[in-house]
């Protein structure tokens, strides 16, 4: 099974790029974040015409997540359990071929001295509780998406410049580690222990041209999922195309036993 996650920064604006990339890189499951549209405006037919089932939890102009899958999804959950009153659409979950996929668009949290950072921390705590509950199912669990977390200084081009950013701040990193410590594994670090590949480059300041990037898009795998994961890589090629998202896809391969 081939799986990818991609913050597309508006599915309607990036639709040609996404379709081109999918044609070049056929997938079984694609997790999308920041689709920036409600369900009625999502381009269902374009993906259904190439064989995908489509699940959408959308929001006008902001946020929004989706799951595309070749196999029929089951046990679909819209919104993060325990966070029912949140109006921001940042989570969707489904079981596909016996694997639970949680698609995540975690809050950015900047500026740090505002309610936005407190919201990020609260959201992460609710996610931690749900991630713990998922492990009780004793099936492969994959949490993928834009976590808006730079896990370590190895994952950012200039640690000092980002030191006071919500993506790097100790409290946010600590909550990310708490999720991992439940029994999850950062898939990229299974196969790329010394690599500083990035998944995001800002549109400004020549970030893409100078490789001023950060790694904020992740796959977190339960033990059962880590056991069947045979590959994790970042494909930076879409970031260099015209009208690109500021994120690029990260991909994993799973071989069920």
Q: What is the pLDDT of residue 196?
A: 80
The stretch 21-39 carries a mean pLDDT of 98
Q: What is the pLDDT of residue 166?
A: 98
Angle between helices 115-135 and 170-180 (to 10 degrees): 10
The stretch 77-88 carries a mean pLDDT of 95
- The tens digit of pLDDT for each residue in 104-162 reads 999 999 999 999 999 999 999 999 999 999 999 999 999 999 999 999 999 999 999 99
Domains of the chain: 2-254 (3.60.10.10)
Of all residues in the chain, what percent carry a pLDDT higher than 70?
Answer: 100
- The tens digit of pLDDT for each residue in 195-204 reads 789 999 999 9
């Amino acid at each position: 099974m081939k799986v990818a996650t991609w913050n597309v920064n508006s599915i309607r604006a990036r639709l040609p790029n996404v379709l081109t990339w999918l044609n070049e890189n056929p997938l079984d499951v694609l997790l999308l974040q920041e689709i920036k549209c409600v369900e009625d405006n999502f381009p269902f037919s374009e993906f259904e015409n190439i064989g995908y089932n489509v699940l959408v939890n959308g929001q006008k102009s902001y946020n929004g997540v989706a799951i595309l899958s070749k196999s029929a999804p089951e046990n679909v959950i819209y919104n993060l359990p325990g966070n029912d009153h949140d109006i921001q659409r940042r989570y969707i979950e489904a079981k596909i071929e016996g694997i639970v996929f949680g698609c995540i668009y975690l809050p950015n949290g900047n500026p740090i001295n505002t309610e936005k950072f407190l919201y990020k921390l609260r959201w992460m705590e609710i996610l931690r509780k749900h991630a713990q509950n998922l492990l009780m199912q004793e099936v492969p669990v994959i949490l993928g998406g834009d976590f808006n977390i730079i896990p370590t200084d190895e994952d950012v081009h200039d640690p000092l410049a980002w030191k006071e950013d919500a993506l790097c701040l100790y409290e946010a990193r600590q909550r990310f580690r708490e999720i991992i410590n439940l029994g999850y594994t950062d898939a990229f670090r299974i196969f790329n222990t010394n690599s500083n590949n990035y998944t995001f480059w800002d549109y400004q300041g020549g970030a893409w041209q100078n490789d001023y990037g950060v790694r904020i898009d992740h796959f977190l795998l339960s033990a059962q999922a880590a056991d069947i994961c045979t590959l994790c890589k970042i494909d930076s090629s879409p970031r260099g195309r015209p009208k690109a998202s500021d994120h690029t896809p990260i991909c994993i391969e799973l071989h069920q036993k």
